[in-house]
Amino acid sequence: MDSMVLIGESGVGKSNLLSRFTRNEFNHDSRTTIGVEFSTRSVLVNGVTVKTQIWDTAGLERYRAITSA
């Protein structure tokens, strides 16, 4: 399984990017991520199924230690 980590400042849309890509959902009123969350998605690439685990990190400064570990 491959992994991908979404990092960036708070409020830029990391959580909505994750939910759109993995569940085809978009929430205009999404909540702030506390710590980290993840989801998985399988996609077909050149005839091969690739399963990817996508991690959504908190963008707030107080959680910076989590994303720099």
CA distance 4 to 31: 21
Average pLDDT value for residue range 22-41? 84
Sign (positive or negative) of CA dihedral 12, 14, 20, 25: negative
Positions of E strands within 14-59: 36-45, 48-57
Residue 65 confidence class, pLDDT cut points 50, 70, 90: low
Instruction: Examine the pLDDT at 38 and tell me if it is beyond 60.
Output: yes
Domain boundaries along the sequence of the chain: 2-67
**Between 44 and 27, residue with greater pLDDT:** 44
> Using CA atoms, how far apart are residues 33 and 50, in angstroms rounded to an integer?
26
Location of structure tokens 């996609």: 43
pTM over 0.75: no
- 68: which DSSP letter? T
- What is 2-67's CATH number? 3.40.50.300
